[in-house]
Amino acid sequence: MPIKIAPSILSADFTKLGEEVKRVEAGGAEILHIDVMDGHFVPNMTIGPPVIKALRKVSSMKFDVHLMIERPELYLEEFVNAGADIITVHAEASIHLHRLIQQIKSMGVKAGLALNPATPIEVLTYVLQDLDMVLLMSVNPGFGGQQFIQGVLPKIVALSTIIAQVNPGCLIEVDGGINTDTISLVSRAGADIIVAGAAVFTKPDPVLAIKELLAAAE
């Protein structure tokens, strides 16, 4: 599968969010990355189900909802009802990961598991076969526009080897610090979906920015 860019609305202009989303969709983006932060799991707060529900009315992109929240199990149904297609929870946010992943899948959406930069991939050992996606953070979560952490590259390589053996359908998404310099590193390491926030939405032409990222990835 050719790599895909998932624009992250974290860096979009929130005063005209609907237009920003429609613009990248018209430009060919298929996946929209939506960062949900609760001020507890990460030191920042963003948006929740009502905003996702509003965006669902103006977009048919796949909504890739990244929950950077504590107790995600309490809110899954709300995010599904709001229009999420993929729900990604953090391995560090739950002591009942297996149950949480089954809960997501039972609601008819795809299940992703996110790992912070310092979290080893061994945490995936007994759940990888159940996942549709693993999200490897390449910054410490909480903010857009941070610098890419190079140390995540061997982690992507190692995970792609394991995925090929255990669950070849499972996608690797990489998130944080992606720009035209770092994207080729991540793509060569084995990422399938690459999240880009600042590198898309702070540019004068976000659609052109996505095209430039894709070109740089090759």
Ligand X SMILES: O=C(CO)[C@H](O)[C@H](O)COP(=O)(O)O
Residue 132 bears catalytic tag: no
Cα(66)–Cα(89) distance, integer angstroms: 6
Residue 166 CA from chain centroid, whole number: 21
DSSP 146: P
- The span from the first CA to the last CA of the chain, in angstroms, equals 13
User: Quick one: 11 or 131, whose CB is closer to ligand X?
Assistant: 11
Cα(31)–Cα(163) distance, integer angstroms: 22
Decide: is 43 part of the binding site for ligand X (CB under 6 A): no
Task: Output the DSSP codes for 67-87.
Answer: EE-SSGGGTHHHHHHHT-SEE
Residue 64 bears catalytic tag: no
CA pseudo-torsion sign 116, 122, 124, 128: positive
Q: Is 40 annotated as a binding residue?
A: no
Residue from 35, 38, 64, 132 carrying the catalytic annotation: 35
**Which of 83, 112, 142, 190 is in the footprint of ligand X by CB under 6 A?**
142
Give the contact letters, 166-205, x = binds to ligand X (CB under 6 A), - = no. ---------xxxx----------------xxxxx------
Q: Is 177 annotated as a binding residue?
A: yes
Shortest Cβ 168–ligand X spacing (Å): 26
Judged by CB under 6 A, the number of residues near ligand X is 22
Decide: is 33 part of the binding site for ligand X (CB under 6 A): yes
CA pseudo-torsion sign 217, 132, 177, 53: positive
Q: Applying CB under 6 A, which residues contact ligand X?
A: 8, 10-11, 33, 35, 66, 139, 141-146, 175-178, 195-199
The annotated binding site for substrate is made up of: 8, 66, 142-145, 175-177
